[in-house]
Amino acid sequence: MLIKQLSVFIENKKGTLANLTGALVKNNLDIRAIAVFDTNEFGIVRLVVDNPDKALEVLKKEGFIAKLSRVIAIEPEDAPGSLNKIFNILSEHDINIDYIYSFVMRLHELPYIAFKVDKLEKAVEILTANGINVVNSEEIRGK
């Protein structure tokens, strides 16, 4: 139930994102989600792609500093307070959220939310037990 996410360390300068995404395009890799977190000089790009292992290889070959990690993607209920409910469930079970971001799949109207937490397997088990739809890699790849 965990998905692979790429984290890429980049310089915060014109053209860097174009170079990164261009390397993926050249290799037929499809970006399913992207989030960029920046400072004045550097940034971290977090990506969910259709073939994360190949993307890691491509990016490293192109000179990017990249690593794979596992995150949880969920499909929250479309109701006021649904994220608060999820945050409370994780907090009550002593699970810390390192960061989150949302992304929308073309076939879905509601966003997925990607979580990086300190206890991945425990979080998946708890969220699933509480009726939260935890998304798998095939759903992210659109298969």
Q: Do the Cβ atoms of 100 and 113 come closer than 8 Å?
A: yes
Core vs surface per residue 52-70: b (16+ CB within 10 A) or e = beebbebbeeeebebeeee
Q: What is the pLDDT of residue 133?
A: 87
Do the strands 97-103 and 112-117 form a parallel or antiparallel pair, or are they unpaired? antiparallel
Q: What is the pTM of this model?
A: 0.79
Here the tokens at position 138 are 């095939």
For residue 102, what are the CA distances in angstroms to 74, 76, 98, 119? 9, 10, 14, 20
Confidence of residue 135 (pLDDT cuts 50, 70, 90): confident
The domains located in the chain, with CATH, are 2-70 (3.30.2130.10), 72-141 (3.30.70.260)
SS3 state at 2: strand
Tens-digit pLDDT profile for residues 84-117: 999 999 999 999 999 998 887 655 566 777 888 8
pLDDT at 81: 94
How does pLDDT run across 39-87, given as a tens digit for each residue? 788 999 999 999 999 999 999 999 999 999 999 999 888 889 999 999 9
Tell me how far apart the terminal alpha carbons of the chain are, to the nearest angstrom. 15
pLDDT given for residue 109 in this prediction: 64
Residue listed under structure tokens 């790849």 = 141
